[in-house]
Amino acid sequence: MKKLREGFTTGSCAAAAALACCLWQRDGVCPEAVELEVPGGKVYRPQIIPHEDGSCGIIKDSGDDPDITKGMEVISRVDVSQKDGPIVFRGGDGIGTITQKGLKIPVGEPAINPVPREMIEAAVRSVFGSKGATVTVSIPGGTEIAKKTFNPRLGIEGGLSVLGTTGILRPMSLEALRDSLYVELKMRAEQGHKHLAFTFGNQGESALHALGCRIPVVQVSNEIGFMLDSARELGIEYLLVSGHPGKMAKIAAGVMQTHSHTADGRREAIITHLALMGAPKTLCEQVYGCVTTDSAAEFIHAAGFDSVWDRIAIAAKEYMTFRVREEIEIETMVTDYEAHVMGKSAERPKGLET
pLDDT of residue 124: 98
Q: What is the pLDDT of residues 52-92, one digit of tens each?
A: 999 999 999 988 776 789 999 999 999 999 999 999 999 99
Q: How far apart are CA 254 and CA 268, in angstroms?
A: 11
pLDDT of residue 172: 60
CA 306 to chain CA mean position, Å: 24
Q: Which of 11-20, 146-155, 160-169 has the lowest mean pLDDT?
A: 146-155
pLDDT of residue 1: 45
Q: Which of 177, 276, 278 is nearest to 222 (CA)?
A: 177
Give the pairing of strands 238-243 and 7-8.
unpaired
Q: What is the mean pLDDT of the chain?
A: 93
Per DSSP, the three-state class of 87 is strand
More confident residue, 301 or 154: 301
pLDDT of residue 173: 56
**What does DSSP assign to residue 5?**
P
pLDDT of residue 175: 66
Q: Which of 166-175, 222-231, 285-294 has the lowest mean pLDDT?
A: 166-175
pLDDT of residue 153: 63
- Bridge-partner residues for 330, per DSSP? 239
Q: How far apart are CA 62 and CA 171, in angstroms?
A: 8
Q: What is the pLDDT of residues 213-252, one digit of tens each?
A: 999 999 999 999 999 999 999 999 999 999 999 999 999 9
How many CA atoms, within 13 angstroms, populate the side-chain half-sphere of residue 286? 16
pLDDT of residue 88: 98
Single-letter amino acid, residue 92 = G
More confident residue, 226 or 6: 226
**In which band, very low, low, confident or very high, does the pLDDT at 354 lie, cut at 50, 70 and 90?**
low
Residue 137: pLDDT over 50: yes
Domains of the chain: 7-169 (3.30.2110.10), 174-344 (no CATH)
Q: Which of 156, 164, 150, 163 is nearest to 264 (CA)?
A: 150
pLDDT of residue 104: 81
Q: Which of 341, 336, 311 is nearest to 244 (CA)?
A: 336
Q: Which span out of 92-106, 172-186, 307-321 was modeled with the highest average pLDDT?
A: 307-321
In order of 120, 183, 239, 243, the CA distances from 230 in angstroms are: 40, 10, 12, 19
